[in-house]
Amino acid sequence: MVYVLLTSEQKMDEFNLKQFVGTQNTAHEVLQKLLPVIKESRSVQLRDCGVTDEGCAALASALRSNPSHLREMDLTGNEMGVSGLNLLSDELKDLHCRLEKLQLRDCGVTDEGCAALASALRSNPSHLRYLDLSGNKLGASGVKLLSDLKDDPHYKPEMLDFKMLV
């Protein structure tokens, strides 16, 4: 069971939950219960926590409800599907979204998920400066999309990492 107390005056700089052990349903329930804390955090780290499409829906909700507050999100080691990435990408398109750093290392991102992310970054190129997609299942079309994005004069990332799995 998870208990969180956060008053309206409190803000968290960093919310960090690493290697949460539980079923996918448990991980989703924990994310739902912690959503008020996540919404008020500037940095959210959910590494190896079993975040799936349902968890991405909760995180997209956090971005939607407080788009200018959350600046960093680390979802390394979670197996997200295309629909989850589409939900996150839709929120990244919002011009109010101020997310600056997104880590999706080893998350099973495919060319389709990569296309959604590239589209979002073209729609709102001014904020996200660090995107890590290393260790994912990118094919030639995903790599091309990211390479084109690196060369786009409107989007100048400080770091765009997309090493393919060998």
Pairwise CA distance, residues 142 & 43, whole Å: 27
pLDDT, one tens digit per residue, over 127-148 is 888 889 999 988 899 888 888 8
Which has the minimum average pLDDT: 18-22, 29-33, 71-75, 158-162?
18-22
Residue 10: inside a domain: no
In a 3-state reduction of DSSP, which class is residue 41? strand
- Asked if 151 and 118 count as a contact pair (C-beta separation under 8 A), the reply is no
Residue 154: inside a domain: yes
**pTM of the entire predicted model:** 0.81
Residue 84: inside a domain: yes
Residue 104: inside a domain: yes
Residue 166: inside a domain: no
* Total domains present in the chain: 1
Helix (H) and strand (E) counts for the chain? Answer: 5, 6
Residue 129: inside a domain: yes
Residue 81: inside a domain: yes
Query: Given this model, what pLDDT does residue 165 score?
Result: 43
CATH classification of the domain holding 83: 3.80.10.10
Domain coverage including residue 80: 42-161
- Asked if 164 and 138 count as a contact pair (C-beta separation under 8 A), the reply is yes
Residue 34: inside a domain: no
Amino acid at 106: D
Structure tokens given for 79: 């197996």
Structure tokens given for 60: 């997209």
